[in-house]
Amino acid sequence: MIQPPYISDVTEDIFDQVVLTRSREVPVLVDFWASWCGPCQTLMPILARLAQEYQGRFFLAKVNSDEQQGLATRFGVRSLPTVKLFKDGAEVGQFVGAQPERAIRTLLESHIPRPSDALLKTALDLESAGQREAALATLKDAHATDPANDRLTAHLGRLLGELGFVNESEDVLKRLSPRALGDNEIAAIMARLEFVRMVAGAPPLPELEHRVTANPKDAQARVWLGARYLLAGRHEAALDSWLSVVKTNRAYGDDIARRALVNAFTLLGGKGELVRRYRGLLAAAIT
């Protein structure tokens, strides 16, 4: 049987070209299988049917692990079937064992570009250029055409909140799917929105700096100041402000400064030198 152009058997000598290079254009799903593997035979027609349905929006690469043991070793395949998803030249997801079609769709949809993603990029570019009202209008138009795009929904809710439309922001964010908060980008967006809420009605940054200078023990001013710093991109100054409250008045605001630090770590991606350093400082402060 002739395979469609978006399904192919892959050998070790062409893997990098067929999988890694191609994954810079569309996501590539790699199915490690073997003829003796019963679950592999169950899974294979599901993957082929999805590839047919998506019509090239992802590429299905099939690797016979018995014949291509070098590839199985290279990618740490210890059980069959193992399915790995590659995007932009790197592995971005995987599952082991036969999975229901719904779970496979969920993995694919989180990485396959949608038409509304182009509008999202346009909106974010507008926002970066300082054209926030135009960005908001673009996000609203895009959301109307694709309300199921969680990244789009999250950015629309964030920008609405930052522009002061708090109630509308809350209504939009209620539409996020249950799986959305498992996405690192969306988790960071939601964390940022918490700081937007934190400073709603708070004094402007210069006034807060003056208050802290005049009274270093003013915990509320330091909490607000940290949020203002974070939203302005002054991350280390924000973390310093909250850490100071943790050290001197941890109980203030139901431990709000410690919670702000943890939320900031999420916003910053949960890794990197700054996050590692302040995780350590926070741990030392609360022990």
Kindly list the catalytic residues: 37, 40
Q: Decide: 239 and 278 in contact? Cβ < 8 Å.
A: yes
Unique residue bearing structure tokens 């607000």? 224
Q: What are phi and psi of 64, to 5 degrees?
A: -75, 105
Q: How far is C-alpha 253 from the geometric centre of its chain's CA atoms?
A: 29
Say how many CA atoms lie within 13 Å of 262 toward its Cβ.
8
Rounded to whole angstroms, the maximal C-alpha distance in the chain is 79
Taking the C-alpha atoms of residue 215 and residue 192, their distance in angstroms, rounded to an integer, is 27
Bridge partners, 90 (sequence order): 87
Taking the C-alpha atoms of residue 113 and residue 23, their distance in angstroms, rounded to an integer, is 12
| CA separation, residue 44 to residues 72, 90, 107, 162 (Å) | 17, 23, 16, 47
| Burial class, 272, CB count within 10 angstroms (exposed 0-12 / middle 13-18 / buried 19+) | exposed
